[in-house]
Each structure stands twice: as C-alpha cells, then as structure tokens.
Amino acid sequence: MKDDKSRCSCPYCSNTFDTVKELRSHMMAEHKGQPLPAPEGLIKITVNGESYELQVKPNWTLYYLLHDKMGLTGAKMFCDRGACGSCTVIMDGSPILSCMTLAMECDGKTIETIEGIATANHPLIDAYVKHHCMQCGYCTPGFIMTAKALLDRNPNPTEIDVKENLAGNLCRCGTYPQHLKAVLEAAENLRGG
C-alpha cells in the first residue's frame, strides 16, 4: 500500500493520495497554471562562467559529472578516494575534491576547472610549462587548481604557504620542487611584477 501511495505523491507539494484520480483532482485544484516542478536531481551549476541545468543521479560524484558526462577530462581520477588531489576543482572559491563531492550537492554552485583557467590564460599555466612542473602530467591540473585557489585567497604567498597548500596533492613523478618555483613566479606575475 505504501508503494501505491508513493506513486501518487504530488510533484509540486509532496502530498500523497490513495489514487491517481485523487491526485489529479488535487493538482487541478491547487497547482493549475504553475510551471512544471523540477524533477529530483535537476541541478543548476555554473562551470567556467557558463550556466548549465543538468539532470544528475544521486550517486554521481562531481568528478563523474565533469569528467564522464561533461567531457571536462582535466580533472583526473588517480587515488580514487580523496587521497591525492588530482580531481581538484574550485567550488565557490574553495579547492575541493570532486571525487568526494556528490553532484547533487552542487546545485547553485559556481565551479572552475582547469579548462576554464587555461582558456583564461591564467599565469600559472605558463609558469608550470616553463618550470617543467610535470612529468607524466596526470596530477598537474589538480596541482594548478589548488595553486589557483591559493593565489585567489593569498596573492603574496610565502614558500611555506605554497608548500602547505600543495602538500595534499600527490605527484608520483616527484615534481614538487618545480611547483614551488612556478607558483611563486605566477604570483609575482599576477601582482604585476
């Protein structure tokens, strides 16, 4: 019976009814003329300055949405459980692990990915290329996103600031010393140095 009832819940106000007929009467009486209600799992997000309305499933991560569904493959699956930072994107100004964030939680959020900041020619990109901050390159976008979030918050970081902020990102090729140079140089360039 419970299942039958749930099939007759009102999409506008969630009231439940024993029969479809009762539901129809309710909707005609209470909700006639209103726009269609948003289905569950419909989210609105802004990615790299463009707005999207997307139907997501409850078990989708933000990484899956960006990488597999939207084709933004710069976020990478490395550790596959929040240990490495390779899937880092910036959400409302903060660096987050997209593999540990459910897509449904992102409704109304503004997201920046590596593709966005590369298109915008962020000085980090050039600095990273110049200082060879990559070997295989798999973790590189995650590092740059973390560094970008740092520079957004702190335009004049010290060496220690950079190290502490990037310490959550793993690089198996061990490119760490080069990142330090690149981030400090990009910071200087951003300050107009």
Q: Point out which residues bind other proteins (CB under 8 A).
A: 59, 67-68, 72-84, 86, 113-115, 118, 124-125, 128-130, 132-141, 144, 163-164, 166-180
Residue 17 or 78 having the CB closest to other proteins: 78
Query: Side chain identity at 14, as an amino acid letter?
Result: S
Residue 23 or 62 having the CB closest to other proteins: 62
| Closest approach of other proteins to the CB of residue 151, in Å | 15
- Among 47, 52, 169, which Cα is nearest to 112's? 47
d(CA 85, CA 144): 10
| Closest approach of other proteins to the CB of residue 72, in Å | 8
Q: Find all residues with CB under 8 Å of 192, minimum gap 6, and list them.
A: none
Residue 12 or 176 having the CB closest to other proteins: 176
d(CA 42, CA 173): 40
Q: What is the distance in angstroms between the CA of the first residue and the CA of the last residue of the chain? A: 71
Q: Which two tokens stand for residue 8?
A: 């007759």
Using DSSP's 3-state secondary structure scheme, residue 148 falls into helix
| Closest approach of other proteins to the CB of residue 17, in Å | 29
d(CA 113, CA 125): 13
| Closest approach of other proteins to the CB of residue 42, in Å | 20
Residue 27 or 118 having the CB closest to other proteins: 118
Q: Which two tokens stand for residue 130?
A: 């110049």
Residue 40 or 80 having the CB closest to other proteins: 80
| Closest approach of other proteins to the CB of residue 79, in Å | 4
